Amino acid sequence: MKLVVLGRDGVINRFREEHVASPNEWEPLPGALEAVARLNHAGWHVVVATNQPGLGTGLLDMAGLNSVHQHMNQSLARHGGRVDAIFICPHTASDLCDCRKPAPGLLLKIGERFGVSLHEVVVVGDTVRDLQAAQAAGCEPHLVRSGRSGHLSADEAEALAAQVPGSLVHADLDAFTSYLVKRSRVRDGTGRAGYTDPK
């Protein structure tokens, strides 16, 4: 199984300093929904792993979060894409849990659920915490400059990613997808039969 794990805020949708508490606050980033669809069509399963500390502080409730994710899934479906599962850490930093990124717990649970070797799993996030979680779980880390790293220059983003050896930097999820699909086709020799990446 080919599996990509995406952060949510700053990767698929715009990051808000306040929590995304309702569907009308959820705004997809340009090209992100199409990028997920391209990953799916190229044979990748996509899973979301997201810290949602607002649940722990009471600023969010599960009903509201579920409605946001239902809206996200419906938006993805309209673009021909899907996510196979959403894994959530509801804790705050003070809870000292093992699932809040940069801890690897969410990724370990994903590996168990899907029965995959984590060293074959690609993780995409917009903060160094995402990269650290990927490294701790043995996954391949990628940073996108579309969220909390969006204010960084390309050189600054590269310097940030260098804190986690092996990390690669992309402008956004669309650029990451182009990279991954192209790399996969090169490694496969001919790529997936019947599929040509539109990029």
The model's pLDDT over 39-65, given as tens digits with 9 standing for 90+, comes to 999 999 999 999 999 999 999 999 999
- Pick the more confident residue, 109 or 187: 109
Residue 18 located in a structural domain: yes
**Using one digit for the tens of pLDDT, what is the confidence trace for 11-46?**
999 999 888 999 999 999 999 999 999 999 999 999
If one counts the domains in the chain, the total is 1
Q: Residue 68's domain spans which residues? A: 9-43+60-82
Element (H, E) at 178: helix 173-188
Q: Does residue 104 lie within any of the structural domains?
A: no
Cβ contacts of residue 57 below 8 Å, gap of 6+? 92
Q: Is 131 contained in some domain?
A: no
> Which residues are bridge partners to 28 per DSSP?
13
pTM, rounded to two decimals: 0.93
CA–CA gap between residue 162 and residue 52 (Å, rounded): 26
Nearest-Å Rg of the Cα atoms of the chain is 16
pLDDT tens-digit series, residues 134-192: 999 999 999 999 999 999 999 999 999 999 999 999 999 999 999 999 999 888 774 44
CA distance 195 to 101: 34
